[in-house]
Structure formats: structure tokens, C-alpha cells
Amino acid sequence: MAPGTILGMSAAGPQDPRFADVGRLVVRCPDRPGIVAVLSRLMADTGANIIESQQHSSDPVGGTFTLRLEFVLADLATRRVELERALAALAGEWQFTWRLVEATRKPRLAVFVSKADHVLQELLYRVGSGDLRAEVAAVVSNHPDLEPVAKAHGVPFHHVPVTPDTKDAAEARALELVGDVDLVVLARYMQIVSADFCSRFPERLINIHHSFLPAFVGANPYRAAHDRGVKLIGATAHYVTAELDAGPIIEQEVARVDHRATVEDMRRIGRYVERQVLAQAVTWHVEDRVIVEGDRTIVFA
Amino acid sequence: MAPGTILGMSAAGPQDPRFADVGRLVVRCPDRPGIVAVLSRLMADTGANIIESQQHSSDPVGGTFTLRLEFVLADLATRRVELERALAALAGEWQFTWRLVEATRKPRLAVFVSKADHVLQELLYRVGSGDLRAEVAAVVSNHPDLEPVAKAHGVPFHHVPVTPDTKDAAEARALELVGDVDLVVLARYMQIVSADFCSRFPERLINIHHSFLPAFVGANPYRAAHDRGVKLIGATAHYVTAELDAGPIIEQEVARVDHRATVEDMRRIGRYVERQVLAQAVTWHVEDRVIVEGDRTIVFA
Amino acid sequence: MAPGTILGMSAAGPQDPRFADVGRLVVRCPDRPGIVAVLSRLMADTGANIIESQQHSSDPVGGTFTLRLEFVLADLATRRVELERALAALAGEWQFTWRLVEATRKPRLAVFVSKADHVLQELLYRVGSGDLRAEVAAVVSNHPDLEPVAKAHGVPFHHVPVTPDTKDAAEARALELVGDVDLVVLARYMQIVSADFCSRFPERLINIHHSFLPAFVGANPYRAAHDRGVKLIGATAHYVTAELDAGPIIEQEVARVDHRATVEDMRRIGRYVERQVLAQAVTWHVEDRVIVEGDRTIVFA
Amino acid sequence: MAPGTILGMSAAGPQDPRFADVGRLVVRCPDRPGIVAVLSRLMADTGANIIESQQHSSDPVGGTFTLRLEFVLADLATRRVELERALAALAGEWQFTWRLVEATRKPRLAVFVSKADHVLQELLYRVGSGDLRAEVAAVVSNHPDLEPVAKAHGVPFHHVPVTPDTKDAAEARALELVGDVDLVVLARYMQIVSADFCSRFPERLINIHHSFLPAFVGANPYRAAHDRGVKLIGATAHYVTAELDAGPIIEQEVARVDHRATVEDMRRIGRYVERQVLAQAVTWHVEDRVIVEGDRTIVFA
């Protein structure tokens, strides 16, 4: 038996009956009375059974309305076209954009790492357990250290060294190796990716920063946190934009430390916060629960 | 200036413009496709602007559907009748029950206490600050100790002593003094109220129990928690039913303790958990965010 | 009965038997093997019964050693001199400084506020309940709004208006009115105090800042937090130094918010975090549990 | 390379310089003035440099005193005998028992599991990362499912089926296979071990129970928690005694759930609480931070 199969990666596979015929619809439009009635009517007429419904209006007057529905529709794969046609027929009048997803489809992730394994291990564990319904298509690293971890889970590993001089070429090479993915996760990659790289994955590039942003932007945040004498250390998962550590925040969490904690203690404690925060953010993202609105996110948790 | 006015109790009074024309609608019915479409259509046709919407289905197939809407409807006080008529016209076909509330209306609370003041103080503070939009109509106690606290906030205080022999008469007397109230809050009352008393306030009688229920039912839970050596102590706010400490739970919270904590330390730490948990539960209740479903609650927080 | 007496401010007064003969000793010196043996021997020979002991070394080699003892010594008030003499006899050889406090002594606080009452109310409540063993000697404000709150607790209130032009004079006037106090607490004072003011209360001036420092230094942190889209809001209690919001942190805490939270919601939620954090910090300070070490604090919680 | 080596299990091996010459001393005796002075003097005279010191008295009068020291003593392995001789010379007079441990020594663990892998994976991850300084000597299970997980970490796996009829024999067989270990961890073993088994590992047998004990003792606690409508679910790590789920608690933690959570959701959320709680408890145990005192534990965290 190959090591890659050992951790139950097929535990919640595409055939998982819990997800058959489950669909997710996210709709965004200018807020206007009647939009919920129209969409609810459409779903009811289609025969969809709503199992989860969340909505948000950035401002009831003149704001943007966002609706996320999770529903069961018998024979969804076939009837999806019909549903899309019905949505398209209404989209013009109500000026909405939409995204319709079949829950059986597992998004493909590329995970970029450096030498630290804790976040990668957690993502692979959650994928294996089925708690994170995604497929890790590739692990990319500027160091060879974590190849065995990827291999143990049956995931292709690409070692792409990066130096200041070869950064553009390295990014290009990584993109080529990774191929077509739905989401890129920077799981303690420790490299600043280029603006061009960011622009290829708009709202599809998630980073974990090891501080409670916006405190301690940049390098060595645990050292900075220690020097400032904070009583809580944190981690922040955010979409990456061209500006360093400034993209829309998806999730944050903190852990308590006291005067005894050295920088090394903070790093150790922080690792558990980081893995939790990034895994949560990625899970919400692949379940279409995160919607970017300007510099902020809506999270239908 | 009377002491009762000092704590800003009018800070968020009935004329608070934030609540003018704000309504809340809670609808419950057997789950059935189309119910959201019908209700959304009704609200849209009425001209209501939905500002918050939450729903829950106990089971998409054969379960009970619950919807809570918060909306703005110009001239609500006048148009309320029209809205109720429209709801009544649909209620039969969809088998729904509903509750329509104007947010400007402040529910009247009776708060039952004994000697401990911490929970009462917190409720009065939150009412005064406007964070808890309610009116404390009366404070009732089996001891005279907290009369000054009630008086300082301009709230009538009724001392109704209770002995095992006089319990029924005392309850009757308390009810008479309290008059017509929307909610009775047992804020560390330390008396077990009768089944008859409970039955007069179905889903309108909230107690704070000073443990993480169902652990440590009954008297002296901090002593029991200490003896069991727990590492977290808790508090539970729940609706009171005839069975002791067994009613539907609204809110729970815990605080960490360690081996140094004596029973007295647990009581002291616990007081801050109790006041937080009860105040939160009462706030949710008066905002019509809590719906009892069998032995459990739906909380649209 | 005066309103000031109603909230049980004498509940844990100087005669509280729990604190009779209880002393606290804090010793600091260069770390060197044997210091604990010497101090333990001294206490044992004196007949003191140690009830709490905590120690910290900034670095076992070449660092600073800090020891905090809580002990019972029969007839402490009388025997204190003898204990001090014994400490003095050793201080030179071991190069230590010390602070010896009788627990019955309640530190005198001056609380500076502006218009918001939540932190002041909490401090007064905790003083009244005995959970915070201190005496509020005076409340000072640049606005008259909170005079009734102070008066209701029997605390002198001084209205000292401040304008950019009169700041120095206002501070001088406030200091004169406040007189001799052990600790100054800026309980949402909303004014930046002068470097001169800071220097009069070294390690005895505590501020509550309504953010998770060092994020959102300066004015309007909730607005800034909202605009940045953080998922946790925080509060920080710190000693005030000449540099704005940069003094040693005593305590921090956070609360979760989501995309629905407006700036006003964050302010409301934040008030409960602020009151908790400041009250905790002041409590630790008056119990001699906080020791400043450079830009950081040791907290023997 | 064998899969077992890939996860960095040697990251913090016996030669880890951070632990060379580090010792831990735990002393317990009747509380009596002077004990700290005597022990501190002994350590100072030996030349040990104290890097951590914690103490607790169950009652300053007539109670039991517990001291835990962590220290650096050059050439500890050699000088250990001398230190033990010095302790033995004092033990009679002060009636103390002691435990002296070299930090380089890694305790040997036997981990008993059933089919669920989450807690085992976490323990193996923490051992591999060096955060949990222990050696997993064997994994035992009544099912074969987790053999690949153990093997991937290079840990011997023993499949010992259990039926009601074969329980005694199965326990005997497991003990034989496991051999000499310092600690047995029931990591969701799902079997009630016999009183005889418990008695072989006094204060060296840790279980994770998937509820906030003492709530929901026994089987299927998530189902019971769901039915009771709790708002927090918990997990409890405790030493196992002959009485089911009643042994001294080491650590507890909770996670928030709401009305949407099904029993299955609670199980999923709970798994993350369980792994955190058990890993923390085991870590504290192997660092000699947990001392059983009657039905409770002292945890020098």
C-alpha cells in the first residue's frame, strides 16, 4: 500500500452521499426590495430544497446585497443547466452576478511552503479526514525539506528554488508545474510573491501571516511581538494583494502568552494558532463561504 | 436629580431614532419549499426593507422551519395592521404561526433576586446603557438587601419573604406585585419556583444557573465543581420548566480555573461569567432572537 | 442612607479578616544562585507562613530575578519593622530592591474619565464588591457628565475642562485636586496626558486603549479596525509613558466580530472588553502582581 | 528512507542541547515553614541554576506542600547521584517524597486507539515536531485500521481484538506486547479498561473523554450533548481510575456550537478539541507538571 493512501484521503470522496445533489449558489447585486422573493421563487419553482441560507447587505440603502444558499436538487448535475438558464434570465433585470457550485466538486489546491511543516500537515490531515473537501494538486517549495511529507500523502512535490535574481523565473516555473488550480495557499511560504503572481489569482490566493494583523506586518512578527510585550499572539489568514500583508482578512485567532514566553515559545505556541486559522480560512473558501467586499470579507460561517 | 436617572436609562429610549419603524417578524411552520418566497414576496410588496434575515430548518424533510426577519417599514405603527392582515391571509395555507414586534416597544421585565447583586447590577447597567432594550418593571427579593440597588435605578423593589410553608402565598404575592410583565428573570433568586409559577411564564422565565449544565445540577455547584477538580467553571442561562435545571439552554460560557482556586475563588470568578451569560440571554430574548424548539433553543445571534 | 453606601463599598474593608496579617513582598535583584534560599530562610526565621510564591528570571545567566511572596505573619503591623530590618541587612550583599506591603492597606486611585461611563462603572462596581481592593479617591473629568455616577458611589468628582490652550494648567489643577494617590487610571479619558504628567506617576499610570496594541495606535481605533476588516477587536491596558500608546502592556483581550458588525457595533462590543481588561489590570496592579521590566511587564497572575 | 523517519521525529532528540543538564525535581511534604529555604539551599549548594520554580500548598496550615523545580546543573548525569544523596539525607526530617528527572530522558508511551485516528495523529505529530518530548513505544488497537498510521511514523502497531468474553486475555496480551512503558494513553480507545489494568498504571494512565466532565459520563456524549441542547461542547483529559470517567481531571476545553450543529457536526468539531486537550495533558504529564492530589490535580503549567 502506498503511503499516500494511508491517511484516508478518500474518506469523503466525490461519491460521498452527503454531497450528492447538493448545490451552492452565491448571488450578489445592488440591494433592492424583492430580490430575495425573486430568488426564493426561482429556487422553489425549480424544486430545490434550501438547507442553508445566509444573506448580508453592506447597506440596506444603496448597498450591495449578498445571498448564499445551500440546497438539495434531485439530479443536480443534469438540471444545473436549467437552473443556470433561469438565473441568467433574471440577472439582467436585477443586475446580479452569481456563482453556482456542485458540492461534489472538490477544488484543486496548490500549497506553497518553505521548510516549516505544521500548516501543510494540518491541511493534509483535514483533506484526508474529509473535513476540508479539497484536493491538494501540488506542493511547491523553495526548499526540498517537505518532499517526504507531500509524498507520504501521495501529493506531487515540486522543488523550485528562489533567489532574488531568479524570482520571476521561479514563479513562472512554479505556475507551470502547478497547472490549473482553484486556489493557491501560501502555507508559511516565507517569500513575497510578485504583483503579477497575485493578479493571476484574484481572491484565490490565501496567505497565513503569523501575527494579529495589522500589528507586526512583515518579517519576524514573533520577535516583534515579544519585544512589544504583547499578552496575546495571533495569526491572520488573508487574501493576498499586491500590498504586503494588507489584503482582505478571512480569519484571525489569538493565544495567550505570559512574561515567561521567549520568542521561541511564541513561535511554538503560534504554530498551533497558524494551522487552525489557515485551515479554517481555506475550508470556508472552498465551501464558497467567503465573499470579498472591498478591503473586507463577508464570511457566511 | 433622582438617582434613577443618573445611569443614562433613557439613553436608548422609545424615541431612539435607530429603532423607529424597525419591525421584527418571527414565523414558524412545517418546512416546505416556497415558504421563503411567499414571505419575501409579502414583505417586498408591503415595501419593507429587510435589514436582517436568519432561518433554520430542524430537518429539511418533515422538519419545522423558522424565519426571523428584521426590517424597516415606513410608518410601521400605522401599517402594522395591514401587515398582520396579509400574514393572516397566508397563515392557514402555509400553517404558520407568527410573531410581529415593533422594535420601539421595550419589554417589561421582573427580576427576582436574593442577596447577591452582581447579576442585577449588570442587567440594570445594560438597560441603562441601552445595550439591553428593556424596562425593569420590578425587582422582587426574599431578602431586603438589594432594595437600595433597585431604588438607585428608580426601579420598584418588593420584599417578599419566602419560607417552605409560605412559598405558594409568596409566589402569589410576588405575581400580584409584579403585575403584567413580558419576562421574568431569576437573577440568582436561590429559590426553586413552583410548577404553577413556571406554567404562567412559558418560554418567558429565564434562570441563571451557576454551572455548566448539565454538570452540577442543584445547590452549591461551585463546591461540587471544586470537589470534582474541573479546570473550567461555567454558567448556564435557560428557560425554566417544571424539572429543576433541565429547561432549554439559551447560553453558556466558561472561565478557566487552576488548582489554586478555592471554592470562594470559583464563586468570585463565576460571578463575572454569570452576569455575562444571563445578560446575553436576556438581550437575545428581548430581541426575539431565541426560539424554543422542544428541549433546545434556536438562537439567531 | 447616602447613595454611596448602597453598593457595598465596605464589603471587604480594612478590617476584612481575610487580609489581616497578610503581607506581600516583591524582591528584585541580579539573578544569582542562593537568593531564594536566603529569602526563604529569612521568611522562615521570621515565622512567616508563605501562601503564594512566584518567581521569574529574565535570564538565568546575567538576568534579573524577581520574586513575589504572599505570606501570613502574626501581628504583621508590629513586626513589619523587624522584617524590614532583616531585609535591609541582606539587600547590600545581594543587591536587591524590595517592596513590602500590608494587604490590609487599600491603594488610593484617581480615575480620569471623559463622557463614557462603562469603565468607571466597572471599577466602582468591583471596588464595591471587594473584588478590587482599592479606594477610589477621586474621579476627574473634562466633562461634567459622570458626576452623578461618582456621587452615587460617594466618590468626589472634579470637573476640570481641558482645551489645547489650557492643558498644562488643567493637568496642574487636576493633580492639585486629586492629591496624594497611589495610582492614576485613565478610564477612557480621551486626552493625551503630558510627558510631565507621565513622569509624576512612573509605573503608576494605567491607560485603557480600545484596540489590540500595537494595532490601531491613536484616535478612533474601532473605525480603523472596521476599515481594516479585522475579525477580532481588542483592548489593551498599559502603563503610560511619554510615547503615545507605547508603554508596557499589562493585559489584553479580544472579542470576535463578523462582517455584520458596524463601527458602532464594534464600539458597543468593545466596551465590554475594555472594562474587563482595565479592571483586571488595575486589580493586578493594586495586588502588586505587575512588575515593569524594560518595555514589558511581568504579571504574577 | 522509511516513512517513519520523514516527520522529523528526531527533531528534538536526546542530544537536543536545550535539554542537556536540565533536571526536574518534584517534592511533596507536609507544609511547614522552612521547607523552601532548605530545598533552595540544597540546590544552591549543589550549584544548580533554577530556571523555573512553582509551588502549591493545599492548605498553609496542615496541608500538603508541592514544589516543582526545573534547573540546570552542569554534568547532571554524573552529579545526579550526589543530588539524590543530599535529598535523601533531608527526606526523613522533612517527611518529603521526591522525584528527580533528567530532561533528556524521553518517557515511553503506549497509545491505545480504536478506529478514529485524530488524536493519535496529533500525538505523533507533536512527538515528531519535538513539542511533545516522548517516544511512542507502541500503538495498540482492537481494530486493524490504524496500523498504516503507526507504521508511517515507524511505531510498532499491535492489533489486539477485544470481545466481552476475551477482555481479560486481551488486556493481558496488550500489556505483554507493550512491555515497559512510562505512560499509557487511551486515545479514543472506546473500551472500558479493567480495574486491574488501571491499578497497574497508577497516575500513569490518561484517557480523553469527549465531553466536559462530569457532564455526559459514559457512551455517546455528543448525542447526549445534542439532545440536551448545550451551547458549548467539551473534552476532558483525566487519569483513569476504577470508577468510569471519574478520575482526576488534567485538562478541559470547550468549543462553541449553535442550533445548527447536528450530532455529526459536534463529533467533527469535537475532534479538534479532543486532540488539543489530550495532547496538552500528555505534554504536561511527561514534563512532570501534573501532580495528583486526592481527586484533583495540580498542574504547574
Residue A228 CA to its chain's centroid (Å):
31
Sheet hosting strand D22-30, strand order edge to edge:
D49-57, D64-72, D22-30, D97-102
Q: Which of C21, C31, C117, C245 is catalytic?
A: C245
Pair B90, B43: CB distance under 8 Å: no
β-bridge pairing D232-239 and C97-102: unpaired
Residue B195, C-alpha cell as written in the block:
410548577
* CA max distance for chain A: 63
Q: Would you say the ipTM is above 0.85?
A: yes
Q: Name chain A contacts of D2, Cβ cutoff 8 Å.
A: none
pLDDT at B16: 66
Residue C301: is its pLDDT beyond 50?
yes
Residue D204, C-alpha cell as written in the block:
500513569
Tell me the catalytic residues of A: 245
Q: List subunits contacting chain C, requiring 3 or more Cβ pairs under 8 Å.
A: A, B, D
Q: Name chain C contacts of B5, Cβ cutoff 8 Å.
A: 148
Look at residues A51, A44, A54, A57 and name the one whose alpha carbon lies nearest to residue A72: A51
Of A214, A230, A259, the CB nearest to C298: A259
Contact between chains at B37 and A40 (C-beta distance less than 8 A):
yes
Q: Nearest CA of chain B to the CA of C149: how many Å? A: 7
Q: List subunits contacting chain D, requiring 3 or more Cβ pairs under 8 Å.
A: A, B, C
Contact between chains at C252 and A231 (C-beta distance less than 8 A):
yes
Residue labelled with grid coordinates 460571578? B271
In chain C, DSSP assigns E strands to 22-30, 49-57, 64-72, 97-102, 108-113, 135-141, 157-159, 183-186, 205-209, 232-239, 249-256, 290-293, 296-299
Of A56, A227, A260, the CB nearest to C260: A56
pLDDT in tens, B74-88: 999 999 999 999 999
**Distinct helix (H) and strand (E) counts, chain A:** 8, 13
Q: Name chain A contacts of D152, Cβ cutoff 8 Å.
A: 3, 6-7, 152
Distance CA(B51)–CA(C260), nearest Å, equals 10
Task: pLDDT tens for chain A, 301 residues: list them.
Answer: 233 222 323 333 445 677 889 999 999 999 988 999 999 999 999 999 999 999 999 987 789 999 999 999 999 999 999 999 999 999 999 999 999 999 999 999 999 999 999 999 999 999 999 999 999 999 999 999 999 999 999 999 999 999 999 999 999 999 999 999 999 999 999 999 999 999 999 999 999 999 999 999 989 999 999 999 999 999 999 999 999 899 999 999 999 999 999 999 999 999 999 999 999 999 999 999 999 999 999 999 9
Phi then psi for D203, rounded to 5 degrees?
A: 60, 20
Q: Name chain A contacts of C295, Cβ cutoff 8 Å.
A: 227-229
Helix (H) or strand (E) holding B135: strand B135-141
B230: alpha, beta or left? (left if phi > 0; alpha if psi -120 to 50): beta
pLDDT tier, D186 (very low <50, low <70, confident <90, very high otherwise): very high
Q: Looking at chain D, which residues constitute the CATH 3.30.70.260 domain(s)?
A: 5-102
Of D40, D54, D57, the CB nearest to C51: D57
Helix (H) or strand (E) holding B28: strand B22-30
Q: What's the CATH superfamily of D108-299?
A: Formyl transferase, N-terminal domain (3.40.50.170)
pLDDT in tens, A65-96: 999 999 999 999 999 999 999 999 999 999 99
Distance CA(D157)–CA(D140), nearest Å, equals 6
Helix (H) or strand (E) holding C226: helix C221-228
Contact between chains at A3 and D152 (C-beta distance less than 8 A):
yes
A61/C contact by beta carbon, under 8 A: no
Q: Name chain B contacts of C157, Cβ cutoff 8 Å.
A: none
Contact between chains at A37 and B43 (C-beta distance less than 8 A):
yes
Of A44, A51, A60, the CB nearest to B57: A51
Q: Looking at chain D, which residues constitute the CATH 3.40.50.170 domain(s)?
A: 108-299
In this structure, which CATH number among 3.40.640.10, 3.30.70.260, 3.40.720.10, 3.40.50.300 belongs to the domain B5-102?
A: 3.30.70.260
β-bridge pairing B64-72 and B135-141: unpaired
Q: Name chain A contacts of C258, Cβ cutoff 8 Å.
A: 299, 301
Residue C8: is its pLDDT beyond 70?
no
Contact between chains at B125 and C129 (C-beta distance less than 8 A):
no
Distance CA(A4)–CA(C278), nearest Å, equals 52
Residue labelled with grid coordinates 424565519? B67
C63/D contact by beta carbon, under 8 A: no
Whole-model pTM over 0.90: yes
User: Around Cβ B47, how many Cβ atoms within 10 Å?
Assistant: 14
Distance CA(D15)–CA(D11), nearest Å, equals 10
Contact between chains at D299 and B249 (C-beta distance less than 8 A):
no
User: Around Cβ C39, how many Cβ atoms within 10 Å?
Assistant: 25
Q: Nearest chain A Cα to B73, which residue?
A: A33
Give residue B131's identity as a one-letter amino acid code.
D
pLDDT at A61: 78
Q: Nearest chain D Cα to B217, which residue?
A: D215
User: Around Cβ B256, how many Cβ atoms within 10 Å?
Assistant: 12
Q: Nearest CA of chain D to the CA of C186: how many Å? A: 33
A255/D contact by beta carbon, under 8 A: no
Contact between chains at A3 and D3 (C-beta distance less than 8 A):
yes
pLDDT at D13: 40
pLDDT in tens, C16-72: 677 889 999 999 999 988 999 999 999 999 999 999 999 999 987 789 999 999 999
Of B227, B232, B258, the CB nearest to D254: B232
B6/C contact by beta carbon, under 8 A: yes
Q: Taking all residues of chain B, what is their mean pLDDT, rounded to a whole number?
A: 93
Contact between chains at A37 and B34 (C-beta distance less than 8 A):
no
pLDDT tier, B4 (very low <50, low <70, confident <90, very high otherwise): very low
DSSP string, C113-169: E-S--HHHHHHHHHHHHTSS--EEEEEEESSSTTHHHHHHTT--EEE----GGGHHH
Cα–Cα distances in angstroms (integers) from residue A139 to residues A2, A153, A238, A274, in the given order: 18, 11, 19, 18
